Amino acid sequence: MKAVGIVVEYNPFHNGHLYHLQETKKQTEADCLIAVMSGNFLQRGEPALVSKWTRTKMALFAGVDLVIELPYAFAVQSAETFASGAVALLAALYCDEICFGSESGKIEPFIEAAKTLLEKQNEYDIYIQQALQTGINYPQANTLAWNQLHLDKLDVTKPNNILGFSYVKAILEQHHPIVPRTIPRIAACYHDETFSHPSIASATSLRKALSGSIERLETISSYIPSYTKQLLEQYYFTYGTFHDWERYFPFLKYRILTMEESELQRIANVDEGLEHRFKQAIIEAETFSQLMTSMKTKRYTWTRLQRTCTHILTNFTKEQMAKMKKPTYIRLLGMSSNGRRYLQTIKKQLSLPLVTNVSRLEPHPIYQQEKKAVFAYTAIFPEAIRSKAIKEEYATPPITLF
């Protein structure tokens, strides 16, 4: 059976995702489509609109065969760490190809850039350091270094190009026999907040249009499959809310206010005196957005700050992060009958444990952080629902769609 991997967040699953998924199947003639998906917190440092379980259902309804959790320790990270964790998991599942959507749409520039970077890593690092010293932020420094290495065939100001590049680089770096492939993204840019296409819009624009309100679900219904709509409705009626940063702000503010600066300093990503700036800014901030706006500088991008807030909320420390080099288990969130069949064929060759019951994982450093992420994610629920949601993390067997 031919297995093809994709890396997803599905926040929420929309028609653009469906297009990518169907094109991937068509172009690769995959027998088994494997998605590595971020859990409850996402790469850009946000809580997912709905839990991992509901997003797993969306993926299965759309035709994914296996949904694997990308652990928090790799998901809420820079593109490089995110990609390296995701690729390691897809390789561990013996994927033949990895297929990603990109603004570029052609695979050659990705491969060329990844090869160059691997050869000239030292040179690149020096360019980056030099550029950062001028006071610009990391994405800007990256673009500069990129141009200095004559890699301008690939536009790395585009977020999906950066991710794609990182997947290819991880494949080469980790020496996996995986073929990278890309499909051009259609119609909607990642950051687009307007609707310019009748049925395709970015997840960002959909979340914005939804604004956390079930009443506004109808306004986005032409951009999402009907099962996404039903699953969002079902989630809202079961849990009473969608998730966004503002809902977590009381907890984040409580936490930052009652922490010592020395404790803040221990949190992943809190460096260069960021602890003082958090302590100062939090006193006046009455919303998450106010906190971000008052802290954002040329140097600290919104995404970087947001990721740092997620680490504070979930209590993810530098010490923990330093220990987590690569994924050490494969956590199955969901599977189709096809997926199950594929797992049967590779079961005996797996080099990482395939986990369907997380209670067997403890105490496991990477899973410890996953639990903390679940505890933080469920903190906004009323108590009875919170207990239920926490139990789901432990007791939910992989979701099956047979």
Annotated binding site for ATP: 7-20, 101, 160, 185-186
For a copy of itself, the closer CB: 132 or 385 = 385
Residues β-bridged to residue 209: none
Of 122, 133, 226, 258, the residue at the interface with a copy of itself (CB under 8 A) is 258
Identify residue 33 by its one-letter amino acid code.
L
Which H or E run includes 214? none
- For the CB of residue 239, give the shortest distance to a copy of itself in the complex, in Å: 15
For a copy of itself, the closer CB: 75 or 200 = 75
Binding mask 211-250 for a copy of itself (x = CB under 8 A): --------------------------------------xx
The CA distance from 269 to 289, in Å, is: 19
Residues in the annotated binding site: 7-20, 101, 160, 185-186
DSSP 84: H
Residue with tokens 């096809």: 338
Residue whose C-alpha is closest to residue 288's, from 42, 6, 15, 45: 45
Give the Å distances, CA to CA, from 204 to 36, 164, 240, 348, 373: 20, 19, 22, 40, 22
Query: Does residue 286 touch a copy of itself according to CB under 8 A?
Result: yes
Give the number of other CB atoms < 10 A from CB of residue 120.
Answer: 16
Q: How many residues does the chain have?
A: 402
- For the CB of residue 133, give the shortest distance to a copy of itself in the complex, in Å: 32
Residues with Cβ within 8 Å of 138's Cβ and at least 6 positions away in sequence, in order, are 128, 132, 301, 304
Of 283, 322, 347, 397, the residue at the interface with a copy of itself (CB under 8 A) is 283
User: 82 with 136: CB under 8 angstroms?
Assistant: no
Of 130, 196, 337, 387, the residue at the interface with a copy of itself (CB under 8 A) is 387
Residue span binding a copy of itself (CB under 8 A) among the ranges 10-18, 67-75, 82-90, 311-319: 311-319
Of 111, 144, 386, 396, the residue at the interface with a copy of itself (CB under 8 A) is 386
SS3 354: strand
Residues β-bridged to residue 334: 67, 399
SS3 217: helix
- For the CB of residue 49, give the shortest distance to a copy of itself in the complex, in Å: 20
Query: Does residue 272 touch a copy of itself according to CB under 8 A?
Result: no
Residue span binding a copy of itself (CB under 8 A) among the ranges 39-47, 143-151, 351-359, 384-392: 384-392
Residue ranges binding a copy of itself (CB under 8 A): 249-251, 253-255, 257-260, 263, 283-284, 286-287, 313-315, 372, 375-376, 379, 383-384, 386-387, 390
